[in-house]
Amino acid sequence: MVRLPIGRVLVLAALASAPLPACAAEAYQVGTISGLVAGGYDGDVTIGELLRHGGFGLGTFNGVDGEMIVLDRRVFRGTTDGRASRVPRGEKTPFAVVTDFRPQGSVRVAEGQSLPQLQGSLDALPYSASRILAARVQGRFQAIEVRSEPKQSPPYRPLPEVIKEQQVVHAFTEVDGTLIGFRFPATASSVNVAGWHFHFLSADRARGGHVFTLTTGAGRAWLQEISDLRIRFPAQGPAAIADADAVNAVEQPHQRE
């Protein structure tokens, strides 16, 4: 048992440190965030193929048709009605990241934390900031806001325009469920979202989406450090890529403007 001082943000009961795996953990990614945000909404990788590379992750579907949630080797779509449903293996994705999730440690999550506080708590744990960190946070959420967006048709507009005009946000209270998250280092900002990116799936597998805000209840976080990233690039993509400001506009826009 290792006790870690990380301030008032997260109360750690213990860090359950297991031996590091003999082989470096790997994440598999389809496309890049800069390509997706610029309007690269079509890919050629099926959900069945994606699952061969990992059963834990997040992303979207061709045409940005909802938010992808990958949990326990099952793929769900969070839609604009706030609901989640299983996705057939034949559907395709232009952007997703998955891993074979094998946590190296876990921590207790204290009640009453905001999303920035939770992220700061996880950042304070002794994992490398230069590597990818995967997190599964499971428990009760006092409140959580999730978003999704409707399927787009060509010619595709950049994603910030779609999100600003068409995203739909739903708020849930006192709900049990799981956060599926990745933290990418700043050096990978054109490849994936720099910092934390979370999707949510309720315990009954009926609700989900991209996480905007939350207040934690009692729960636990499991974490895995990832040193290797394998990227499958699309055969075709947008003429230009999006910059960091455009990515930020998609991840945490002012949803009530």
Whether 18 shows a pLDDT value over 60: the answer reads: no
Q: Determine what percent of the chain is predicted with pLDDT higher than 90.
A: 80
Q: Which fold has domain 26-251?
A: 60s Ribosomal Protein L30; Chain: A; (3.30.1330)
Whether 12 shows a pLDDT value over 60: the answer reads: no
What pLDDT is recorded for position 234?
86
List the Cα angle 223/225/229 in 5-degree steps. 130
Return the domain boundaries, the chain: 26-251
Residues 6+ apart with CB under 8 A from 50: 28, 30, 57, 70, 75, 93, 96, 98
Residue range 179-186: average pLDDT? 97
3-class secondary structure, 47: helix
Residue range 50-72: average pLDDT? 98
3-class secondary structure, 187: helix
What pLDDT is recorded for position 252?
66
What pLDDT is recorded for position 5?
38
**What does the mean pLDDT of the chain come to?**
88
Q: What is the dihedral of CA 19, 96, 136, 222, to 10 degrees?
A: 10
The total of other beta-carbon atoms located within 10 Å of residue 154's CB is 9
What phi and psi values does residue 49 have, to the nearest 5 degrees? Answer: -65, -40
Q: Is the pTM of this model over 0.85?
A: yes
